[in-house]
Chains A and B, each alone.
Chain A
């Protein structure tokens, strides 16, 4: 059974930093791309970042580029998102997502339960 368990959320002041982690199990982690998606309170879904299975390729939304860093440790089946220079508009539930990207098909097939990040003074 695929499981994705986020941790590291919490309250942080504007300008501060936070690191989210996602522990993955139930699939071959190193063979799968992974992604982060966020959802501000009462709002829709926003894609944040993605990383290839090897970790050699990373992608970011313009809204977080230069402030957030995605990474992975395939030896520990762990995905991370480092959030720096946080702003009030970064307040959201952050979802860790398994990203299936095969020839001719791509989709987000498994989602974690989400970690709430609140940016406020």
Chain B
């Protein structure tokens, strides 16, 4: 099974900051990686797929990069509505797996 390791698991930061979250896969997954945002009590929301393609309607301050085993989600200037938990997911092979999550909180 492919393991995904997200770092950091917790991030305390401020509005306007640049945020970078890393997701490392235990083996190569090409670009079959997606990023999701989840707010408390809500279903996850797709942000990025194919490692770097922005889902329709998602603000351009979100971006993704990487391929193979190392991937990055970047928020260029954190907004109040971006405080949430972020998950990466590999869709290269079954079983599909998620990273452990990164909680982004207000400093």
A interface residues, Cβ below 8 angstroms from B: 35, 37, 44-47, 50, 59-62, 95, 101, 104-109, 111-114
Q: Mark B39-80, 1 if CB is under 8 A from A, else 0.
A: 000011110011001010000000000000000000000000
Contact of B43 among A35, A62, A104, A111 (CB under 8 A): A111
| Nearest CB in chain A: distance from B38 CB, A | 8
CA A59 to CA B43, docked complex, whole Å = 22
A interface SS class: strand
CA A26 to CA B38, docked complex, whole Å = 23
Say yes or no for B22: interface residue by CB 8 A criterion. Answer: no
Contact of A47 among B32, B50, B53, B98 (CB under 8 A): B98
Across the interface, which residues of B come within 8 angstroms of A35, CB to CB?
96
In the complex, are the beta carbons of B46 and A47 less than 8 A apart? no
Say yes or no for B25: interface residue by CB 8 A criterion. Answer: no
Q: Tell me whether A45 and B44 are in contact in the complex, defined as CB-CB below 8 angstroms, given that A61-B95, A109-B55 are known contacts.
A: yes
CA A33 to CA B95, docked complex, whole Å = 15
In the complex, are the beta carbons of A44 and B100 less than 8 A apart? yes
| Nearest CB in chain A: distance from B90 CB, A | 10
Say yes or no for B87: interface residue by CB 8 A criterion. Answer: yes
In the complex, are the beta carbons of B89 and A62 less than 8 A apart? no
CA A103 to CA B29, docked complex, whole Å = 15
A113: nearest chain-B partner, CB-CB: B43
| Nearest CB in chain A: distance from B1 CB, A | 8
CA A108 to CA B55, docked complex, whole Å = 11
Say yes or no for B14: interface residue by CB 8 A criterion. Answer: no
Contact of B34 among A44, A61, A107, A113 (CB under 8 A): A107
Listed residue (A45, A60, A101) with the most chain B CB atoms within 10 angstroms of its CB? A45
In the complex, are the beta carbons of A62 and B49 less than 8 A apart? no
In the complex, are the beta carbons of B44 and A109 less than 8 A apart? no
Residue pairs across A and B with Cβ atoms less than 8 A apart, 9 shown, are A45-B36, A45-B89, A50-B94, A60-B95, A62-B1, A107-B49, A108-B46, A109-B49, A111-B43
